[in-house]
A = this chain, B = another copy of it.
């Protein structure tokens, strides 16, 4: 643990949502303090963090004071502006590193990176205007999906193209933003691997979970996922390949389509991931503590699972079911959000389904 943070030192977290909240709790268990930076007041993380700064991403004085008050900086979402990171990085290390963030901030760069690593992805093409969209559709065919290159999450900034006649409307939805056309992948189900890499280069992965989405939002993750032993090994090896190529430090989520011809990478997220929330109740060291251990320079947990788990997201007024859920043997994780808007992630529930198979 050379250069590792000692108990009493402080981790800065960019973003104060539920992921920041669960990272802060994990850090507290290790005796590490957290300082959350978020432009929004009263987000989920501030309540359980030692300190919180509420300031804009372009508030240079606030960013500087934040960077000077912490010993390492990490982030809970990937859309922090590059200029903010430049300012912080001149003062204190950022983990995971900037390249990991850059690659995952841009869907085109991400696809290029994965292809260059020899990993399978959906067919894709860059789209800047009607002409390049026509050319892309010509090559990829329909159905296809047009996505903004940047700032997309939970199905936002996306438009389906079922036939060439949908092209103009889909392009209009991009609002002039650079975009990428992706072909549809025929898959039986989606799984994800939550991997981690430490400062010394050690890699540890949690067992893959099987994801079910509704309306573009993760609904449920079941562990173990339906995978053959060979697929399971493939999933872990490709996550390790990505982590190592990026010289990554921290937890990374990799979403994979399971197809007849093998695993196809859907996307990567350079942070703790919703599909890894099951680890809170299925593993001794969960994804949040794993991330904190990595960015703090501590040894990683081995990813071992003691129990099989089904994780269910509570979205919007799902949270009204809490009285009923509280009467079942389920671990409840609420994010402390006051208002239950439609599509808003309010919490999640983990149910154990038996000892690890």
Residues of chain B within 8 A of A33, CB atoms compared? 47, 336
Output the least CB separation between A171 and chain B (Å): 42
In the complex, identify which listed stretch (A22-30, A53-61, A66-74, A148-156) lies at the interface while the others stay far away.
A22-30
**Interface residues as binary, A35-49 with B (CB distance below 8 Å gives 1, 0 otherwise):** 000000000000111
Output the least CB separation between A15 and chain B (Å): 17
Please tell me if the beta carbons of A327 and B299 are within 8 angstroms of each other in the complex: yes
In the complex, identify which listed stretch (A212-220, A255-263, A300-308) lies at the interface while the others stay far away.
A300-308
Report the Cα distance A332→B349, complex, angstroms.
23
Please tell me if the beta carbons of B25 and A48 are within 8 angstroms of each other in the complex: yes
Report the Cα distance A301→B332, complex, angstroms.
11
In A290-328, which residues have CB < 8 Å from any B CB? 293, 298-299, 301-302, 304, 306-307, 319, 322-323, 326-327
Q: A306-B306, A307-B306, A336-B33 are in contact. Are A7 and B329 (CB under 8 A)?
A: no
Q: A31-B334, A306-B307, A306-B355 are in contact. Are A326 and B1 (CB under 8 A)?
A: yes
- Contact among B4, B48, B281, B326 for A284, CB-based, below 8 A: B281
Please tell me if the beta carbons of A30 and B332 are within 8 angstroms of each other in the complex: yes
- Contact among B28, B306, B347, B352 for A352, CB-based, below 8 A: B306
- In the assembled complex, A246 has its CB within 8 A of some CB on chain B: no
Residues of chain B within 8 A of A330, CB atoms compared? 284
Q: A33-B336, A347-B31, A355-B306 are in contact. Are A50 and B50 (CB under 8 A)?
A: no
Q: A281-B284, A306-B307, A319-B7 are in contact. Are A336 and B28 (CB under 8 A)?
A: yes
Output the least CB separation between A354 and chain B (Å): 9
Report the Cα distance A302→B327, complex, angstroms.
10
Give the residue among A7, A335, A338 with the most B Cβ atoms within 10 A. Answer: A7
- In the assembled complex, A201 has its CB within 8 A of some CB on chain B: no
Give the residue among A284, A293, A333, A355 with the most B Cβ atoms within 10 A. Answer: A284
User: Given known contacts A31-B334, A306-B352, what 4 new A-B pairs fall within 8 Å (CB)?
Assistant: A8-B338, A29-B334, A48-B48, A298-B326
